[in-house]
Structure 1
């Protein structure tokens, strides 16, 4: 018997792809920058991912080169590899 429902973003790959999809749908500000709050709000508040799921997805997206995270953590940039994930 299963008491808990499965979480869609428990898989870091799924969470990373969703973060890339969210990033692609946003208008970057200066020099391709996307403020981090523009991707964490939809993921956490609208899609109901947990902070751990969000962080795992972000880490995987950065590790795979889909997103570039500034050392301050205030913004990301969608890379060419990230754009290819959407294709």
Structure 2
């Protein structure tokens, strides 16, 4: 008698929106920010190609950051911007000063 077919799938580290959003914030700290704008291409290419995440995981994390009011999409569609800057000069969600 044979065993039923079992498929082994590796756990996806960014399958939860909170985890994906946290990684995207880490990436955001490394991006060049020009007039408050972070290029979407640099952000998603790091997450998808370097971290080997999926487009769906990227979308989950991005949408969580937008829903939480941390980032917003620039009107041109090619950049993200911090939604608000805290009075202490920290970037929302990072605990890091803007100049860091």
Q: 1:21 aligns with which of 22, 26, 32?
A: 26
Task: Tell me the C-alpha RMSD between the 2 structures.
Answer: 2.1
Secondary structure of the 1:83 match is: coil
* Cα shift at 1:72: 3.8
Structure with more contact order per residue of length (Cα contacts < 8 Å, sep ≥ 6): 1
The aligned residue for residue 10 of structure 1 is: 15
Structure 1 unaligned runs (5+)? none
Higher gyration radius (CA): 2
TM-score, normalization by structure 1:
0.84
Q: Please state which structure has a larger fraction of its residues in helix.
A: 1
Show structure 2 runs of 5+ residues with no match.
1-5, 96-100
When normalised by structure 2's length, the TM-score is 0.74
Cα deviation digits, residues 19-72 of structure 1 (max 9, x gap): 11111221211x211110010010000001100110111011111011111244
8 Å CA contact retained: 1:35, 1:76? yes
What's 1:33 paired with? 37
